[in-house]
A = this chain, B = another copy of it.
Amino acid sequence: MIIASTSTIHGGNYLEYLFPTLESHFQDCTEILFVPYARPGGISHDDYTLTIRLAFAKINKKVKGLHEFENPVEAIENAQGIFTGGGNTFLLVKQLYQNNVMEVLAKVVENGKPYLGSSAGSNITGLTMQTTNDMPIIYPPSYKTLGLIPFNLNPHYLDADLQIKHMGETRETRIKEFHAFNTIPVLGLREGSWLEVVGEKILLKGNLTARLFKQNEIPEELEPETDLAYLGK
């Protein structure tokens, strides 16, 4: 699995900063199955899939949208590799449950099918979607997600701006509120960082540190190449 904080970094094109990683990650795939359910900005499944098709064309991969298949469970079972894009996590989770693909998606990725997630598509690899930054625009049947890593993610992690005069909660305050009621560790993954999950290892990649929050503990900054698998032990 490649689990990215964001699809796009400032000044770059869609997925561009990840192309070298993706070329090796998807080396055995000629076609990627794209899960368009998160619909950023409310765009249609077709429009979203077209964007992804154009991006993956640059590394010579074809793309099919999951919505193009009559049987989405079979489509996931038969896929060579899978990419779930960002958008709204509530919508994504609702659609995954509604189409009965949450379970099969977890199963095939656990069995080694190459998976890429960005933003909302990364969020769902955690135990629950409860540390998303998104608005609850739709009511999902559960907040439980794929559970492919033994913690939760906060993608697009943002440090508090000490200059700002806005009184809304900082990201750190929100995660602290989460930990008033939940014991699951939370990894704040900054834009430009990603996790590379191979075998038993969960490695932090990119040039930045990531911020790890645990219940009743002071948050810590993790260096690139840290293996986070220990959180599941």
Q: Among B11, B156, B169, B178, point to the contact of A166 (Cβ < 8 A).
A: B156
Name the distance in Å between A50's Cβ and chain B's nearest Cβ. 17
Once bound together, how far apart are the Cα atoms of A9 and B168, in whole Å? 10
> Does A137 have its Cβ within 8 Å of any Cβ on chain B?
yes
- Which A residues are closer than 8 A to B by beta carbons? 6-11, 39-42, 87-88, 90-91, 129-139, 142-143, 156, 158, 165-169, 173-182, 191
Contact assessment for B179 and A42 in the assembled complex, using a CB-CB cutoff below 8 Å: yes
Among residues of B, the one whose C-beta sits closest to the C-beta of A144 is B139
Q: Secondary structure at chain A's binding surface: helix, strand, loop or mixed? A: loop
A135-B132, A136-B143, A167-B9 known; A42 vs B177 contact (CB < 8 Å): yes
Once bound together, how far apart are the Cα atoms of A150 and B7, in whole Å? 37
Task: Please indicate the chain B residues that have their CB under 8 angstroms from the CB of A133 in the complex.
Answer: 135, 168-169
A135-B131, A139-B143 known; A191 vs B178 contact (CB < 8 Å): no
Contact assessment for A42 and B180 in the assembled complex, using a CB-CB cutoff below 8 Å: yes
Contact assessment for B10 and A165 in the assembled complex, using a CB-CB cutoff below 8 Å: yes
Contact assessment for B135 and A156 in the assembled complex, using a CB-CB cutoff below 8 Å: no
Name the distance in Å between A99's Cβ and chain B's nearest Cβ. 16
Contact assessment for A6 and B87 in the assembled complex, using a CB-CB cutoff below 8 Å: no
Q: Among B10, B91, B165, point to the contact of A167 (Cβ < 8 A).
A: B10
